[in-house]
Structure 1
C-alpha cells in the first residue's frame, strides 16, 4: 500500500490515536476505492488507519492493529465480494462489534458500513455470496485448525448485525466520487473535529441564526463578509461559533475559526 502513508500500520506507533478505522479486502479495493476514500478523509483532516499488511505472521490480531481498532471512534468496513473470505477481515469486524457494544455513551463508537458491489442481504448471509465464503472457512477450520467453530459463529453474528446497519450502497450512487463525498461529509459531521464548544440549551438564537444563514447564502458561491456587532456579552461570539459549527463540515480541514 505504497500510496497510503498517513495512518498506515507501518507509519504510526501502537499508541497513536486514530479517528477512523478502515476494514477492507485488499485484493478487491486496495488500489482503487479504498485508496481514494482514504485520501479524501485525510484531506478533510481525519486521522485514518489502514492496514498495509496483506499477510501477517501468526493468527492473532497484532498489537498495533488491535490498538488502532480500540483507539478509533468510527469503523468503516468496506464489504466487497471477497470480504467474507478473509478471516482477518472477519476478526476485525467482530472486534468492531465488540467495541461498539461495550462503548460508553460519552465515547460512543459507531460502525458505518459500505456495501461495495454487494448488498445488505449478502452481508446478512441471506444469499450464497458470503454463505459460500463462510462454508469454505469452516472447511479450512477443519483442515488447518486455524480457528474454532466459536470463532466462525462470532463472525457470522457480526456480519448479520452490521449487515442490518444503515450504510452506503455503491449501486445507489452515480460513481465513486459521489459516494466518497457522502461518506466524508458524514464522518466529518460525526467526529465534529473542528467544531467550537458552545453552551447548550441557548435561548433566542434561532432567529439570529436564520438571519445570518440567509445573509451568507452559502450555496450562491463567491465570498461573503458579514459583521456581527453590538455591546459586550450579548452573544456575538457564541452566534459566530454556532454558524461555524453548522458550516465547517462543508469545508473539511480548510475551515478555521479565528478568535481575536
Structure 2
C-alpha cells in the first residue's frame, strides 16, 4: 500500500482520476466514540483502496467546541456522504449538526447520502427509540430555550433513516 503526494492511499497499480468538481468522493459522518477504531478505520481504508478520496475527521471535538468550518466545507466539497448511525450518534450535537448540513447539501448541491445502521435498528433511528430516545431526553433538557433546534435534529434523523441503507446487523 502506497500513499501519493495528495495523501491518497493506493492499493493497486491502477490510478483513479480525480474529481474536478469536488475535492472528495466521500465524506464520512460518524460518532468517533462508537466507531472510529475498527469499523471506520476499515471502511476508510477500503474506500481509499478503491481510489475514492475520502474525508474523515481525524480530530475528536471536545465539549464546548464548535464544529470546525473546514469540516462543513468538506461536506460541500464531497460528492457523497456515508452516515454511520451508531448507538451514540444522536447523543452528539456535533453529529446532529453535521447531519443537518449533509441533508442541506443533498437538497442544494445534489450530495448523495448512504446511511449505514451500525448496531442500531433503522426504525429506532427513524422513530427515535432506544439510545436515540435517551439522547433526545438529554437534548430537550439542555436546549429548553431552543426547542426548534432539537426538532430539526429529530427531523434530520427521521429523514436520513428513510433513505435506503445498510444494516450492519445483517452483515
Residue by residue, what CA displacement relative to the aligned partner does 1:106-155 show, whole Å, maximum 9, x if unpaired?
xx31110000000111111252320111111121224xx7xx32221111
Task: Specify the SS of the correspondent of 2:28.
Answer: strand
Residue by residue, what CA displacement relative to the aligned partner does 1:154-193 show, whole Å, maximum 9, x if unpaired?
11100001111100001111xxxxxxxxxxxxxxxxxxxx
Aligned residue number for residue 123 of structure 1: 125
Aligned residue number for residue 52 of structure 2: 46
RMSD over aligned Cα atoms: 2.1
Structure 1 residue 29, shift from structure 2 partner: 0.6
Aligned residue number for residue 110 of structure 1: 112
Aligned residue number for residue 229 of structure 1: none
Task: Specify the SS of the correspondent of 2:84.
Answer: strand
Aligned residue number for residue 136 of structure 2: 134
Structure 1 residue 59, shift from structure 2 partner: 5.0
Residue by residue, what CA displacement relative to the aligned partner does 1:166-221 show, whole Å, maximum 9, x if unpaired?
00001111xxxxxxxxxxxxxxxxxxxxxxxxxxxxxxxxxxxxxxxxxxxxxxxx
Which segments of 5 or more consecutive residues in structure 2 lack a partner in the other structure? 1-6, 9-21
Q: Is the 8 A contact 2:97 2:153 kept in 1?
A: yes
Task: Specify the SS of the correspondent of 1:78.
Answer: strand
Mapped to 2, the partners of 1:56 and 1:28 lie a distance apart of 15
TM-score (norm 2): 0.82
Q: Choose which of 20, 34, 39 in structure 2 pairs with 1:33.
A: 39
Segment of structure 1 superposing worse, 57-66 or 120-129 = 57-66
Aligned residue number for residue 165 of structure 2: 167
Paired residues in the alignment total 153
Q: Does 1:94 align with 2:94?
A: no
Mapped to 2, the partners of 1:157 and 1:60 lie a distance apart of 21
Aligned residue number for residue 158 of structure 1: 156
Mapped to 1, the partners of 2:153 and 2:47 lie a distance apart of 28
Pick the structure with more helix per residue: 1
Larger Rg: 1
Aligned residue number for residue 77 of structure 2: 71
Check 1:48–1:160 CA distance in 2 against 1; reply closer, same or farther (3 A cut).
same
TM-score (norm 1): 0.55
Task: Specify the SS of the correspondent of 1:112.
Answer: strand
Q: Choose which of 17, 26, 31 in structure 1 pairs with 2:23.
A: 17
